[in-house]
Amino acid sequence: MSVEVGQQLELTIDGFAAGGLGVAHHGGRAIFVPQTIPQETVVARITHLGRKKISAELVEIIEPSADRVTPVCPVFERCGGCQLLHVDYQAQLGLKKIILTDALRSIAGLDYEPELKIVPAAARLAYRNRGQYPVARKGSKVVTGFFAARSHKVIAVDKCHIHDQRVDQAVGCIRAWAGRKRVTVYDEKRQRGFLRHAVVRVTDKPDQVLVALVGKDDRAGSYGDLIRRLRRQLPQLRGLVLNINPQRTNVILGKRMRVLWGQPDIDEHIDGLRFRLSLGSFFQVNTAQAGELFKKVRKFLKNTSGPLVDAFCGVGVMASLLAKDGHETIGIEVAESAVADARQTLKFNQLSGVTFHQGRVEQVLPKLIKDGLEPGGLVLDPPRKGCAAEVLQAVAQSKTEKIAYVSCHPGSLARDLARLFELGFELETLEGVDMFPQTAHLEVFAGLVRR
């Protein structure tokens, strides 16, 4: 049965897919509808016909799910950042389990649903310790917010319910300053204007805030009014920096940075260790849940003999915690700023037995193995795209007995698990950690051992 773009259909949602999309079936084809929940009957309008995928938008809910709740955010339907804000929290965990188990079954041939556990988050709102807000101008007004799904249209947001409130306070100061001082806002089509993004990092122990303006150029002038606003609203302010990004790109941060006031970094504390975080260095956005994840990795590698490698190590949190546990550790990270932060962490905490290598994991790890490194265990925490083939091949050649794989993308995790099975490893444990409540994302820890 054929359908057309613009056609409205009454559908029963009978599945759930990555990206937080409800799935219905019509004429033998799957139709993906955002903001819907399995077992709902809805009216949806077809928006895209592809060879493999039909997309639709929600028009009306005829029979809602018992798991549907009223979203706390007034722009939920337009923003798209929190795909599950309309779902009861316990049901959110169930939907994330569906996404993960479907990927494991279809890609890696694993049927793991009965045993799979997901660690729930204690804080379901106000948990994000980092915010990156695009800036736009609506008429004469400067606004900040988030891009609507599949677009660069900024949806104005004054309060994001999943961010720490200090993030919104800082961004509010930037909006007020930019409006009062008539700061030009970057227009990506014309490549004109100055202010592109507002970026904020916060920590709880100690209570610190780092604020950044992302500008097209190194704009001269006085930032005194903004500094005064920020210090008045946020006594915890550690620093204000200007990040310069002149490129026509979707990458938020540029390579150059200038300190406008204070310090260019903040400190985070985990299990008694102090970590330095600069603006661009990767760190998990949910500090409390990150602690739960780190505990699982440390427990899995506890009795491992021989050095441990922390690939994609970021600011060296896992490497440092493993060193605290008494292991010799080696961290590998491509971002120069993150490696600098990691090395500073060693000085802060007087840790020994830790070495950091700056470079691409697919280049550094094979070289270390070729030069004779025989790790007892490896931590793999790659970006969303997963591990390159060279990384997994080096892991197989390393003689390691254990792999602690941390993933934020079920699809790439399942693909890499299938590869590792072929290379002689088997799964010993698999657990989810809900690092991102109200969204369709899930952090997963997979512990593998050599067969």
Torsion of the alpha carbons at 400, 291, 268 and 79, rounded to the nearest 10? 110
214, 227 Cβ separation under 8 angstroms = no
Determine the Cα–Cα distance for residues 444 and 216; give it in Å rounded to an integer: 37
- Choosing from 79, 160, 313, 408, the catalytic residue is 408
SS (H, E, C) 52-65: CCEEEEEEEEEECC
Only one residue has tokens 């309309």, namely 86
Terminal alpha carbon distance of the chain: 49
Reported in sequence order, the residue ranges of 81-221 that DSSP labels E, i.e. its strands, are: 117-119, 130-138, 141-147, 154-156, 195-203, 208-215
Run of H or E residues at 77:
helix 76-79
Burial track 299-317 (b if 16+ CB lie within 10 A, e otherwise): ebbeebebbbbbbbbbbbb
Tell me, yes or no, if 408 is annotated catalytic.
Answer: yes
Determine the Cα–Cα distance for residues 141 and 19; give it in Å rounded to an integer: 32
Q: Under 8 Å CB-to-CB from 402, ≥6 apart: which residues?
A: 300, 301, 304, 376, 377, 378, 447, 448, 449, 450
Read off the DSSP letter of residue 282.
-
410, 97 Cβ separation under 8 angstroms = no
Token pair recorded at residue 151: 């677009």
Determine the Cα–Cα distance for residues 120 and 441; give it in Å rounded to an integer: 13
Q: Taking Cα atoms as reference points, which of 166, 94, 134, 342 lies closest to residue 253?
A: 134
Total residues found in the chain within this entry: 451
Run of H or E residues at 278:
strand 273-278
Only one residue has tokens 């699982």, namely 296
User: Could you give the residue numbers annotated as active site?
Assistant: 408
